[in-house]
């Protein structure tokens, strides 16, 4: 987790070149190999712009983005897009193929992978996201969560070193959301990819290794979820909420319940609560 | 609503015809459309009918499916039949009633022309019933490849077609959703004078178009992020396989063409 894989340095970007207020102002940070980095922020905080900056869907006005040692420019975007896979918000609007098999193949077809290799990788990638039994299914016969997992498989098949999830779970129901998060988690655990997830779901962000909080196009805070959530009221003041388990443990501590820590996820809070009065 | 759409009429199966290479099917239909016009006497029509009949038998589809394909155009068939009977005034007169007179040649022509129509529709329906739209697209792309030299954007056209096909159910679902939302707001789509009903479609179309454009934009972004940069250097997962059946089919349609050419009056 020490080697830096992406370096973002002093990036500024304006959608409208004449406008006063940039969408991103002087943003710098590093992403480390194998980590799960969550980028959170309110609507319009610049987090999605930042995501699009990483694989050259947008090019920075000022500053540089370097991915695996390649500096992003017009000339290198296709190289960089092989290294960064991206999953978007709307499950329907990123499904290109007529069936699951076709869609998983799409990215590989684009970079000219031979057919025999594609067939192998489709099997491998769909197995990882547990969609290998749905290869012939058409998109309108899949749930949102399944479609997002197909999107992940399509990205994996190209074998990138980084996956960017741009609010990939925000349009899903709770079950679909859990499926997708679990899939991503297992990828990260297997050491297959570095994960960058753009989200406004703080419960999701709390599971990440590190967090970056964006506000008004600037980096507001950076650190582990524990460090970031310690900002409490400051986060609330920029329109973010705190995870439910965090708020609950805080209130319990205020009431004098002797909790060891402010919990970032429900499971650990529940664990501590039910063992609180037992001796061992 | 989704079930009513014609494009979804593919009937899954694994007959010889189902398994044929879409290119062979398309070429057969293409030739067939020409040779249907070669036929002009009893024997040629009989042979053409026999060929069509054998193909239909091979698909193992119930006749009702073909009949459904014929239904929308049966009026045109009937109309052409009538027109021929009334206009052609050759051969012996068979029947006369005031202005109307029916001649032998008129009846013959009307009958044959209607048969032509029916044969054509049966063959094309057979194609769509036994081939998925995506297979047809693949077949077209492959067959049109030589035209790339003349700057015909074959790959782009095929991709456009397959994306449109893929989005039909999505947009239909969306239409139903908007329909219900607008009905809940009191828009009446089903009654009133025609003018009012046409007006009522506007609040359906506007949101549908807006969302379709939004989808298109997002899809384009997603495709770009996945490295799509046109047909250059692209490989394909879908493969077309030309088998023995396909060669046999091509041979038989060519043979039929030659026989028809020789036997026609």
Q: Which pLDDT score is estimated for A280? A: 58
pLDDT at position B100 over 80: no
Task: Give the dihedral sign, CA A231/A234/A235/A236.
Answer: positive
Considering only CB atoms, which chain A residues are within 8 Å of B233?
Answer: 111-112
Nearest chain B residue to A114, by CA:
B235
Considering only CB atoms, which chain B residues are within 8 Å of A81?
Answer: 225-227
Collect all residues from B whose CB is shorter than 8 A from any CB in A.
134, 162-163, 165-166, 169-170, 173, 214-215, 218-219, 221-229, 233-239
What pLDDT band is residue B4 in, cutting at 50, 70 and 90?
very low
What's the whole-model pTM score? 0.82
Q: Among A80-94, B2-16, B122-136, B202-216, which stretch is predicted with the lowest mean pLDDT?
A: B2-16
What pLDDT band is residue A9 in, cutting at 50, 70 and 90?
very high
Question: Averaged over A11-30, what is the pLDDT?
Answer: 88
A257 shares contact with chain B (CB less than 8 Å): no
Q: What is chain A's mean pLDDT, rounded? A: 90
Nearest CA-CA distance, residue A136 and chain B, Å: 12
pLDDT in tens, A218-255: 999 999 998 998 888 888 888 888 888 888 988 898 88
CA dihedral of residues B80, B85, B89, B95 (deg, nearest 10): -170
C-alpha B97, offset from chain centre? 40
pLDDT in tens, A72-128: 999 999 999 999 999 999 999 999 998 999 999 999 999 999 999 999 999 999 999
pLDDT at position A201 over 80: yes
pLDDT at position A1 over 60: no
Find the CB nearest B215 among A93, A108, A115.
A93
Contact at CB, B223 and A139, closer than 8 angstroms: no
Nearest chain A residue to B172, by CA:
A140
Q: What is the DSSP string of B169-226?
A: HHHHHHHHHHHHHHHHTT---SSS-HHHHHHHHHHHHHHHHHHHHHHHHHHHHHHHHT
Question: Averaged over A118-139, what is the pLDDT?
Answer: 93
Question: Averaged over B116-126, what is the pLDDT?
Answer: 90
**A4-13, strands of its sheet edge to edge:** A24-32, A4-13, A62-67, A70-71
Q: Which pLDDT score is estimated for B3? A: 47
CA distance A102 to A120: 13
Q: How many CB pairs (< 8 A) connect A and B?
A: 92
pLDDT at position B213 over 70: yes
Nearest in space to A161 (alpha carbons), one of A74, A13, A35: A35
Considering only CB atoms, which chain B residues are within 8 Å of A154?
Answer: 226
Find the CB nearest A81 among B225, B237, B238.
B225
Find the CB nearest A112 among B165, B218, B235.
B235
- Interface probe with A: pick from B225, B230, B232, most Cβ of A within 10 Å: B225
Q: Which pLDDT score is estimated for A279? A: 67
3-state secondary structure of B254: helix
A90 shares contact with chain B (CB less than 8 Å): yes
Judging by DSSP bridges, how do beta strands B100-103 and A210-215 pair with one another?
unpaired
pLDDT in tens, B79-91: 989 888 888 877 7
Question: Averaged over B121-142, what is the pLDDT?
Answer: 90
Q: How do the domains of chain B map onto residue ranges?
A: 9-131+241-263, 147-225
Q: Which pLDDT score is estimated for A142? A: 92
Q: What is the CA radius of gyration of chain B?
A: 24
What pLDDT band is residue B6 in, cutting at 50, 70 and 90?
very low
Contact at CB, B235 and A113, closer than 8 angstroms: yes
Q: What is chain B's mean pLDDT, rounded? A: 88
Composition of chain A by helix, strand, coil, percent to 5 = 40, 20, 40
CA distance B172 to A161: 38
| Higher-scoring residue by pLDDT: A233, B55 | B55
Q: Which pLDDT score is estimated for A34? A: 92
Q: Which pLDDT score is estimated for B1? A: 43
| CATH level 2 (architecture), domain A4-242 | 3-Layer(aba) Sandwich (3.40)
CA distance B187 to A194: 50
% of residues, chain A, pLDDT over 70: 99
Q: How many CA atoms lie within 13 A of B245 on its CB side?
A: 14
Decide if B31 contacts B254 (C-beta within 8 A): yes
Contact at CB, B221 and A97, closer than 8 angstroms: no
ipTM at complex level: 0.87
Q: Which pLDDT score is estimated for B2? A: 47
| Higher-scoring residue by pLDDT: A7, B101 | A7
Highest mean pLDDT among A135-149, B3-17, B98-112: A135-149
């Amino acid at each position: 987790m020490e080697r830096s894989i992406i370096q973002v340095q002093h990036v500024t970007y304006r959608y409208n070149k004449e406008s006063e207020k940039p969408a991103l102002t002087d943003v710098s940070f590093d992403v480390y190999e194998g980590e799960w980095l969550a980028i959170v922020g309110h609507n319009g905080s610049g987090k999605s712009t930042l995501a699009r900056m990483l694989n050259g869907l947008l090019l920075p006005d000022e500053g540089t983005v370097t991915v695996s040692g390649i500096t992003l420019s017009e000339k290198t975007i296709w190289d960089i897009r092989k290294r960064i896979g991206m999953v978007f918000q709307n499950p329907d609007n990123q499904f290109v193929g007529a069936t699951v098999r076709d869609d998983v193949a799409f990215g590989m077809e684009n970079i000219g992978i031979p057919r025999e290799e594609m067939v192998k990788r489709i099997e491998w990638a769909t197995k990882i996201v547990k969609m290998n039994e749905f290869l012939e299914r058409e998109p309108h016969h899949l749930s949102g969560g399944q479609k997002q997992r197909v999107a992940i498989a399509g990205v994996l098949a190209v074998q990138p070193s980084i996956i960017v999830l741009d609010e990939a779970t925000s349009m899903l129901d709770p079950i679909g959301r859990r499926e997708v998060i679990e899939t991503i988690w297992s990828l990260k655990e297997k050491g297959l990819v570095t994960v960058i997830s753009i989200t406004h779901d703080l419960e999701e962000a709390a599971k990440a290794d590190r967090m970056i909080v964006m506000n008004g196009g600037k980096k507001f805070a950076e650190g582990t979820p524990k460090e970031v959530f310690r900002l409490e009221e400051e986060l609330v003041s920029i329109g973010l909420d705190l995870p439910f388990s965090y708020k609950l443990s805080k209130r319990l501590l205020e009431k004098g319940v002797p909790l060891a820590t402010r919990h970032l996820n429900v499971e650990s809070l529940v664990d501590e609560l039910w063992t609180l009065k037992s001796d061992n | 609503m989704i079930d009513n759409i014609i494009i979804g009429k593919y009937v899954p199966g694994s007959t010889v015809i189902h398994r044929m290479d879409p290119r062979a099917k398309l070429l057969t239909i293409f030739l067939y459309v020409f040779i249907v016009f070669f036929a002009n006497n009893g024997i040629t029509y009989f042979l053409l009918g026999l060929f069509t009949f054998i193909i239909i038998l091979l698909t193992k589809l119930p006749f009702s499916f073909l009949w459904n394909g014929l239904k929308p155009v049966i009026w045109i068939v009937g109309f052409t039949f009538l027109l021929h009977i009334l206009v052609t005034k050759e051969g012996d007169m068979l029947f006369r009633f005031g202005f109307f007179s029916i001649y032998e040649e008129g009846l013959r022509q009307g009958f044959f022309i209607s048969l032509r129509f029916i044969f054509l529709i049966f063959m094309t329906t057979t194609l769509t019933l036994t081939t998925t739209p995506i297979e047809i697209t693949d077949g077209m792309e492959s067959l049109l490849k030589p035209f790339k030299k003349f700057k015909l954007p074959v790959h782009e056209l095929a991709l456009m077609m397959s994306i449109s096909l893929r989005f039909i159910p999505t947009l239909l679902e969306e239409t139903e959703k908007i329909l219900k939302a607008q009905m809940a707001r009191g828009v009446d789509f089903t009654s009133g004078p025609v003018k009012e009903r046409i007006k009522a479609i506007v609040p359906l179309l506007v949101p549908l178009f807006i969302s379709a454009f939004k989808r298109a934009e997002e899809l384009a972004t997603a495709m770009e992020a996945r490295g799509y940069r046109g047909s250059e250097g692209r490989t394909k997962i879908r493969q077309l396989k030309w088998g023995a059946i396909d060669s046999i089919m091509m041979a038989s349609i060519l043979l039929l063409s030659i026989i028809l050419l020789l036997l026609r009056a």
